[in-house]
Amino acid sequence: MAEQEYRAALQLDANNAELLVALGYVLNEQNEWDEAIPVNRQALRLQPNSAVAHINLGNGLKVKGDRDGALAAFRDALRLKPDYPIVHFNLGNEFRKKQDWESAIAECRKTLSLQPDYFNAHYNLGVRLEAKGDREAALEEYRIASELDPKNTGFRGQ
C-alpha cells in the first residue's frame, strides 16, 4: 500500500528526495532490489546527505553481490551518521564476508557501544571472536545474547 502511495506522490513531484528515500526503503523491505537500487541512487542524486538512502543502497548492492559498492555506501552513511548502530552492524557483516576479523570485531563493538542490548550484534561478535580463536570471549557474547533473547530458537550458544 505505501509503495503505491509513494509512487502516486512522485507522479506529482518526481524530484522529491524524501519520497524517493521512503520508496527506496519500502522497496528494500519488499526485497525488490532491482527497483530499489535505482530509486535509492536517484534519491542520493537529489539528497546526497541522506544516511538512510546510503544504507538502503548498500543493502541492495550487498544482496546483488556488489560487496565493494555496499561497503562504500555504508561508509558514506557512517560519514553522515557516525552514531547509527545499524551502519556499524552492516559494516561488520561486510568485513566478516571478507574475513577481515579485526574490522568485523571492531564494528560489532562499536555497534554495542551505541546499542548495548542489540542481540544480533552480541551474537555476531561471538561468531567473529570464535572465528578468530578467542573462544572464551565468544562464549561470553553468546551468554549475553542468550540473556537478551532467551526464546530465540536460532540461538544455540556454540
Q: For residues 69-88, b (16+ Cβ closer than 10 Å) or e, as one string?
A: bbbebbebbbebbeebbbbb
* pLDDT given for residue 157 in this prediction: 41
* pLDDT given for residue 4 in this prediction: 86
Q: Are residues 14 and 76 in the same domain?
A: yes
SS (H, E, C) 13-75: CCCCHHHHHHHHHHHHHCCCHHHHHHHHHHHHHHCCCCHHHHHHHHHHHHHCCCHHHHHHHHH
* pLDDT given for residue 10 in this prediction: 85
* pLDDT given for residue 152 in this prediction: 74
Q: Indicate yes or no: pTM above 0.85.
A: no
* pLDDT given for residue 154 in this prediction: 58
Final residue belonging to a domain, choices 27, 59, 82: 82
Q: Are residues 56 and 90 in the same domain?
A: no
Residue 104 is part of which domain span?
A: 84-158
Residue by residue, pLDDT tens for the chain (158 residues) are 688 888 888 888 888 999 999 999 999 999 999 999 999 999 999 999 999 999 999 999 999 999 899 999 999 999 999 999 999 999 999 899 889 999 999 999 999 999 999 999 999 999 999 999 999 999 999 999 999 988 775 554 43
- The grid coordinates of residue 21 equal 528515500
Final residue belonging to a domain, choices 61, 82, 103: 82
Number of domains in the chain: 2
Contacts of the segment 38-42: beta carbons below 8 A, 24+ positions apart: none
CATH number at residue 99: 1.25.40.10
Beta-carbon contacts of residue 22 (< 8 Å; ≥ 6 apart): 2, 6
Final residue belonging to a domain, choices 82, 117, 148: 82
CB atoms within 10 A of CB 33: 16
